[in-house]
Chains A and B, each alone.
Chain A
Amino acid sequence: MLATEEDILAQAESWKRAGKGVAIATVVETWGSAPRPTGSHLVIDEDGLFLGSVSGGCVEGDVVTEAQDVIADGKPRTLEYGVADETAWRVGLSCGGRIRVYVERID
């Protein structure tokens, strides 16, 4: 079965209770054709395990990496992805849309 939003947030809680550093990434803004709607979650633990999605798989790798910094220093970050982005060759959305992702640590 596919993970639902319910499984995703429950997983974040259980990782945290197990003593892991955990971050939650949320799609807070989309422009154009974005693969996942605003409010979609990706949860990441300190070992880089993750559940959920914020795109069709295009930028998750980068969000997971950024999440490690958020878990380390506790400062929330807002990340933006899109074809117009200078990092487009590395990570970008093939669909042509743009998304903004808010990443925060669970304390």
Chain B
Amino acid sequence: MKLDILKSLNEERRARRAAVLVTDLSSGAQRLVKAAEIAADPMAEAIDKQLRMGKSASVDIEGKTYFLTVQAPPARLVVIGAVHVSQALAEMARLVDFDVTIVDPRTAFASEERFPNVRVIAEWPDKVLPEIGLDPYTGIAALTHDPKIDDPALKLALQASCFYIGALGSKKTHAKRVERLTAAGFSQEQIGRIHAPIGLDIGAVSPAEIAVSVLSEIVLSLRRKPLRSEKEKAA
């Protein structure tokens, strides 16, 4: 591998852009196809398919074997609400290699003492989320119960096609939320992307158990549904 290809690969990853490295396994020849360049590539179909599945693989094209190294951006998790469940969720999600950020405008909650190992931002979601830059490789869990804080985050997450959007609250709470989002112009299909009540039904009781249920649902969303390619996002 040429050092400049490795450099580009690392740069694309840092910029949270997908890229696919194409290696001709017989000759060793390589090229890097960035997300924006896929459509124009002669191997577009195969590259797009692998990127969609988020899986590197060997493919045979016209009698040659190529290896496609798929590099999708690392998954991020933004948790709205620096609450008790979030403390457990932050630690667990970190172990599962999510890049975790906690957002809560209430400074008493959003302190580094309560969240020693992850990024904590004491700000309103509608101010800070555009700065973070939501994308299809970001998941959002809204855990405050407070529409003033959760709703703006959910709206931005829906617009950004986040791979996971979950919101804490009972069915009754969620019904009211659906009304508010409908009034704000979101379609039934869009609103249907919100996981609520949040988490897989594992009978969780304690905050840590609820965190397990939420994190399981997040991993399920990430792995079962193929991530949208940048191409799709742009379309």
Question: Which residues of A are at the interface with B, using a C-beta cutoff of 8 A?
Answer: 2, 4-6, 9-10, 12-13, 16-17, 24, 26, 28-29, 37-39, 76, 78, 102, 104-107
Q: How large is the interface on B (under 10, 10 to 19, 20 to 34, 35 or more residues)?
A: 20 to 34
B34 within 8 Å of A by Cβ?
Answer: no
Known pairs A4-B74, A26-B67; A106 contacts B55 (CB<8 A): no
* Pair B55/A38 contact, Cβ less than 8 Å: yes
Partner of B97, one of A2, A10, A12, A38: A2
Q: Mark B53-75, 1 if CB is under 8 A from A, else 0.
A: 00111100000000101110010
For B134, list chain A residues within 8 Å (CB): none
**Residue in A closest to B50 when the chains form the complex, CB atoms:** A39
For A26, list chain B residues within 8 Å (CB): 23, 56, 67, 69
Additional A-B contacts beyond A104-B1, A104-B23, A106-B2 (6; CB < 8 A): A6-B74, A28-B56, A38-B57, A39-B70, A102-B25, A106-B1
Q: How far is the CB of A4 from chain B (nearest CB, A)?
A: 6
* Distance, CA A26 to CA B25, complexed state (A): 11
B175 within 8 Å of A by Cβ?
Answer: no
For A37, list chain B residues within 8 Å (CB): 55-56
* Distance, CA A76 to CA B28, complexed state (A): 7
* Pair B25/A24 contact, Cβ less than 8 Å: no
B155 within 8 Å of A by Cβ?
Answer: no
Q: Interface-forming stretch among B5-13, B38-46, B182-190, B201-209? A: B5-13
What DSSP secondary structure best describes chain B's contact surface?
Answer: mixed
For A5, list chain B residues within 8 Å (CB): 71
**Residue in B closest to A38 when the chains form the complex, CB atoms:** B56
Q: How far is the CB of B45 from chain A (nearest CB, A)?
A: 19
B3 within 8 Å of A by Cβ?
Answer: yes
Question: Can you list 12 A-B pairs with a CB-CB distance of less than 8 A?
Answer: A4-B74, A10-B10, A13-B10, A24-B6, A26-B56, A39-B57, A39-B70, A76-B28, A104-B1, A106-B2, A107-B1, A107-B2
Partner of B6, one of A28, A38, A106: A106
For B23, list chain A residues within 8 Å (CB): 26, 102, 104
* Pair A104/B28 contact, Cβ less than 8 Å: yes
* Pair A16/B58 contact, Cβ less than 8 Å: no
* Pair A38/B58 contact, Cβ less than 8 Å: yes
Q: How far is the CB of A38 from chain B (nearest CB, A)?
A: 5
